[in-house]
Chain A
Amino acid sequence: MIGWLSRHFQALLFAVGRLARAPVATLFTAVVIAIALALPAGFLLLTHSVRDVAGNATTVDLTAYFKREVPLESVQQLAAHLRQRNGIESVAVITADDALALMRKDSSLAEALGALPDNPLPHALSIHPAADASSSTSLSALRQYLTAWPEVELVQLDSDWVRRLDAILLLMQRITLGIGTLLGVGVLAVIGNTIRLEINGRRQEIEITQLVGGSAAFVRRPFLYTGALYGLLGSVLAAGIVHTAGALVAAPVDQLARSYGSQFALQPLGWQGLSLMLGVGALLGLSGAWLAAARHISRLQPRV
């Protein structure tokens, strides 16, 4: 075991040494890999951020507007009745006066409302379904139940935007997957080509190693570590790019979100995301190096 670890450690040191001896070339390769990894990672973070906001808003409130002649006492009785029902988290009574006051405060219609001789608004109930009763089927059933009350004029259920947002999120996910796959193949190709050039540059060394009895694994090992290190270095830079980009747009996004009354904020990469990114980078590097090494080293035949 110690021998095995020692061989791998030697190969790792050798790979680190080779990368360090050509810092500019190493950096250029790593930057290309970083850009290819940063794009899908950034998209993924954006999708997750939007999904979080959408997740908080997926429990849709229903509003039941009563006929104008229905007295407040009846509305309060019906509200109490509704609170006993399963799948209801809370029911708030919005009196016609409260609604008018709210409209006067928040709406640009304040002046027009002031000109009216009396309050045109009805009493209403704002119903917040429980999280486990927020499926479209449950909501439709609740809507039907409320609509059946003779005192109720209208039941409003604004779930269309949630469905649209879900569709947009799904589309974003698919686009991210597509871009990620394409760029992942790109990373494989970049690392594969870099390793191919390394193999060609060290052709003589490989041949001599094979002549003195170096196994395929022994010859291949430093190249695999080189590939993995390229991937790792690229993913570290990619994490830096994503973090910097996130920090740069955080304030404008926050400002924009606030203007819409939204709590939307871009998520940071986090330890889990960083670990995933490093793992994916190293794995892509290792795979690219493996493909190149398997293909090109086997073609080298030592000559005497």
Chain B
Amino acid sequence: MIRFDRVYKRYPNGREALSAISFDIAAGEMVFLTGRSGAGKSSVLRLITLLERPTRGLVNVLGQDTQRVGVSKVPAFRRQVGMVFQDHRLLAERSVFDNVALPLVVAHTPLRETDKRVRAALDQVGLLDRIQALPGELSVGEQQRIGIARAIAPRPALIVADEPTGNLDPQLSREILGLFCRLRDAGSTLVIASHDMALVNESGARQIHLDGGRVIS
């Protein structure tokens, strides 16, 4: 599903974020990227989601060498990847339905199918009853679950999450972890960047530990 082969990433300011990292993630696997701030976790996610290109090395995602994905093909590529963010990235002026429907709308999914998938995703995260609410009317935990619903609504083969429990208390973090485990059990591949080691260890999932832009273990 994902292959990094001796990948380097150097930013225009000269900072080398990743240095010859290599790993493989199989389909249906849930993997945690761990490490301190600045270890390179976000850079890995940015390379997976084509927000950045590697300076050197091979990044293969969903069977595609990301270096060969042209600029005009990037949106179509991103539609195959569900993304969850630490700060949720919800549109404050739009209802829960509109937020969750956004990736389906940009993919030109028919209206009836969009409605079906949004309801199914909200049902999965247990927030179907808040479908008409605005994000501001929800708790932080609920907002994060809406972010997850948005990521899973198009039924992507791959879900990446950047510190999805970073702003949540331990109880809510466990709820979100349970949600990810259910998605894995349903066949999704998940790559989650997190520095919450207690939660990561509790999950029992494989870890790729980064430090100074290198894979430590």
Contact = CB atoms under 8 A, between A and B. Distances in A.
A205 interface: yes
A103 to B, nearest CB: 82
A214 interface: yes
B78 A212 contact: yes
Contacts of A209: 102, 106
B46 A212 contact: no
Contacts of B105: 10
Nearest to B99: A208
Given A208-B91, A304-B45, A304-B83, A213 B108 contact: no
Interface residues of A, number: 21
A114 interface: no
A209 B104 CA distance: 11
Interface residues of B, number: 25
A212 B150 contact: yes
A210 B46 CA distance: 13
Contacts of B108: 3, 7
A264 interface: no
B42 A214 contact: no
Interface SS of chain B:
helix
A304 B85 contact: yes
Given A214-B106, A304-B49, A304-B51, A208 B89 contact: yes
A204 B94 CA distance: 13
A273 interface: no
B103 interface: yes
B75 A215 contact: yes
Contacts of B76: 213, 215
9 contacts: A204-B89, A208-B89, A208-B91, A212-B78, A212-B79, A212-B150, A214-B75, A216-B72, A304-B162
Interface of B: 42, 45-46, 49, 51, 72, 75-79, 83, 85, 89, 91, 102-103, 105-108, 110-111, 150, 162
